[in-house]
Structure 1
């Protein structure tokens, strides 16, 4: 029998999606599953984006330009300018989601066996992108006890080797919801300049910041033009996960030129989705005000409810729409399956994402889960009550 590649065998499973068969079986048994496991917002996509697709007059659904349409990239640059980020359309490559932008970035800056330092826990698919590129993820641990703040810069310094090519952050963070401060970004900027590294920032949750805090982009940091690469996406900003449109942004011309070669190999980003995404840029500011207000209420309710559950420790997110909770259990994977297979309250159960899959260090996060608060407030309260009852009877 022909053999599967070593790379294919080493590709990690998604900690978010691997429990789907258990959830589907529960639904077939008539159980209502409350999904806390995936960051699919329930917020409506802006009507202006949907109408742009419905009302277009295209007669041929043709290829777009490899780097994305010029008008769209010009409008993206204008969007960034409104956010105090000065770039041009030539600094932008439109990609098939932020995922492709991350793959292009890794392929452009690192060779097989090169290393990228990432604070953990981190978005689980970074492991997958790194495996596909043959890149080694080197984790630096952030801790729930201090809300997953940036680890001491000395911890990064200890991990830098001749094979280190970049530091990668997600800001605000998935799965932690942590928002890096301007001071923390400046510390990272100093270390990448000192060691001649890239700083890659996944900024797809830029709009989602709370408690009066503001997002500070690595592209706003002066003197970082050669080091900074931003990954962005419309998925969460406009509740358009299915559009699969993102972009890679850098003022480093060599990076953009190299990423363009990867982009040419996949021809072009999807045309209809670009039409929708371009129109979405005209979304009124009131849309975001309402969305942020809703997420703040959801966060506050979720955290307050979790803090009332005995033995649960939860970090308070300052951005995005996720939080990490440590539970009084040993194995969150087993607990998550048990919730779907063996437990319900009045025909309802919850699906959570075990957090171990968001760590690269073996053994970390085993008792933690990630919760996405993308459901209405009543459903979140109901979900935490089910978790509380489940923890009271779970034997592990």
Structure 2
């Protein structure tokens, strides 16, 4: 039989999706599964985006421009201007989701066996993108005891080698909800300039910050024009995960020119999704104010309920809609699978994402889970009750 590639063998499974078969079996057997495992908001997509697709008069669904339609990119630039970020439409490449933007970035800035430093835990698919690109992830550990704050700068500096090409952050963070301060961004900016590296920031959760905090983009940092690359997306901002529209943004013209070659190989981003996304940019601020308030209430409810469970430790997120919880178990993977296969509380169970897959350092996160608080407060309370009862039974 022909052999599968070593790259394919080493491609990691998604900790978010690998338990899906067990969840589907549980549902077929009559259980109700509350999904805490995936960041699929239940917030309604802006009607303006839905209507743009419904009411369009296209007679041919043609290829769009490789970098995305000019009108769309101009509107994206205006969106950034509202957030005190000055860019031009030529600094933007529209991609098939933020995932493709990150893949293009890795392909553009790193060669096989080059290194990218990433604070962990990090979005699990970064491991997958890096494996696909032949890039080595070099983790720098942040800890739940410090609420996943940026590790000391010395921790980054000692990891830099001649093969290091970039530092990658998610701000606000998935899976921790950590929001980097302006001072932390400036410290990272100083490192990448000193060592001639790129600073890549996944900023898809920019709108969702809490407790009177504000997001500070790497594109706002003066003197970082040649180093800064932003990954962005409409998925979470407008509750349009299925649209699969993202963008790569950089003032570094060489980065944009190179990424465009990768984009040309896939021809163009999807036409209907761009129509919806372009319309979504006209969503009024009141939509975000309401959504942000809803997520804040959900966060407070979730954290308050989790803290009532003996032996559970939880990081308090200042952004996005995720948190990491540390459980009094040895192996969260086994626990998560057991929840789906064997445990029911009043006919219900919960699906969580084991956190080990959000780390690159082997052995870390074994007793942690990621929870996405994208459900209504009643569902979150019920889910935590189920978790509490499950832990009693599992530990017993």
Give the TM-score of the pair, scaled to structure 1.
1.00
Classify the secondary structure of the residue corresponding to 1:94. strand
Matched residues in 2 for 1:174 and 1:136: separation?
A: 20
List per-residue Cα deviations over 1:112-149 (Å, max 9, x = no partner).
Answer: 00000000000000000000000000000000001001
1:44 maps to what in 2? 44
Matched residues in 2 for 1:99 and 1:363: separation?
A: 26
Residues 37-116 of structure 1 mapped to structure 2, 5 A cutoff: 37-116=37-116
Please report how far the alpha carbon of residue 218 of structure 1 lies from its aligned counterpart in structure 2 after TM superposition: 0.1
1:234 maps to what in 2? 234
Residues 309-348 of structure 1 mapped to structure 2, 5 A cutoff: 309-348=309-348
Classify the secondary structure of the residue corresponding to 1:159. coil
Q: Would you say 1:249 and 2:249 are equivalent positions?
A: yes
Please report how far the alpha carbon of residue 393 of structure 1 lies from its aligned counterpart in structure 2 after TM superposition: 1.2
2:201 maps to what in 1? 201
For structure 1, list consecutive stretches of 5 or more residues without a partner in the other structure: none
Please report how far the alpha carbon of residue 253 of structure 1 lies from its aligned counterpart in structure 2 after TM superposition: 0.2
1:22 maps to what in 2? 22
2:351 maps to what in 1? 351
Q: Would you say 1:264 and 2:267 are equivalent positions?
A: no
For structure 2, list consecutive stretches of 5 or more residues without a partner in the other structure: none
Matched residues in 2 for 1:364 and 1:255: separation?
A: 34
Calculate the aligned-residue CA RMSD, in Å. 0.5
Q: Would you say 1:284 and 2:296 are equivalent positions?
A: no
Matched residues in 1 for 2:174 and 2:91: separation?
A: 25
Matched residues in 2 for 1:393 and 1:158: separation?
A: 44
Matched residues in 2 for 1:381 and 1:388: separation?
A: 11
- Count matched residues: 396
Classify the secondary structure of the residue corresponding to 2:381. helix
Please report how far the alpha carbon of residue 168 of structure 1 lies from its aligned counterpart in structure 2 after TM superposition: 0.1
Please report how far the alpha carbon of residue 395 of structure 1 lies from its aligned counterpart in structure 2 after TM superposition: 3.5
Matched residues in 1 for 2:198 and 2:59: separation?
A: 43
Give the TM-score of the pair, scaled to structure 2.
1.00
2:374 maps to what in 1? 374
Q: Post-superposition, which runs of at least 4 consecutive aligned residues in structure 1 deviate over 2 A? A: none
Residues 138-177 of structure 1 mapped to structure 2, 5 A cutoff: 138-177=138-177
Classify the secondary structure of the residue corresponding to 2:158. helix
Matched residues in 2 for 1:344 and 1:29: separation?
A: 11
